[in-house]
Amino acid sequence: MDEVLTDSDLMLILCGSSVGMIEREVLSYKSPLYGRAKKIMKIKPFNVEALVEWFGCDLEKIVKIYGVTNGIPKYMEFFEEDVEKAIVKKLLQR
């Protein structure tokens, strides 16, 4: 990266769900990318109001989805169908 991309406008975006692993393996003093991060964004989970906007006003459904996903958007995608069926299909089966 240092030799080939120095004068380019390219940007490397890294994304992950384990903050500890990213800090330890990517951003720590011994890692190859140490000191190169220009912007670090920690994305927070959605709140309950966002779930109501996404899934509608069925409070029972919202409580079930939030209880399983804690507002993590990627996990919320699993619940476009019936909540109980999605839990069994996506989470409890191998």
| Shared domain check, 52 and 16 | no
| Shared domain check, 30 and 7 | yes
**What is the rounded average pLDDT of the residues 52-61?**
86
The Cα 46–Cα 43 span in angstroms is 9
**What is the rounded average pLDDT of the residues 89-94?**
76
| Shared domain check, 38 and 1 | yes
The Cα 89–Cα 34 span in angstroms is 41
Number of domains in the chain: 2
> Tens digit of pLDDT for each residue in 67-89?
888 888 888 888 777 788 888 88
| Shared domain check, 52 and 28 | no
Please list the alpha-helical segments (H only) found in 1-94: 19-22, 48-55, 59-69, 73-76, 83-86
| Shared domain check, 55 and 75 | yes
Record the pTM: 0.57
| Shared domain check, 53 and 36 | no
Placement of tokens 């994304």 in the chain:
15
Does residue 26 carry a pLDDT above 80?
A: yes
Least confident of 3-7, 48-52, 60-64: 3-7
More reliable by pLDDT, 94 or 86: 86
| Shared domain check, 57 and 36 | no
More reliable by pLDDT, 91 or 7: 7
Range of the domain at 36: 1-43
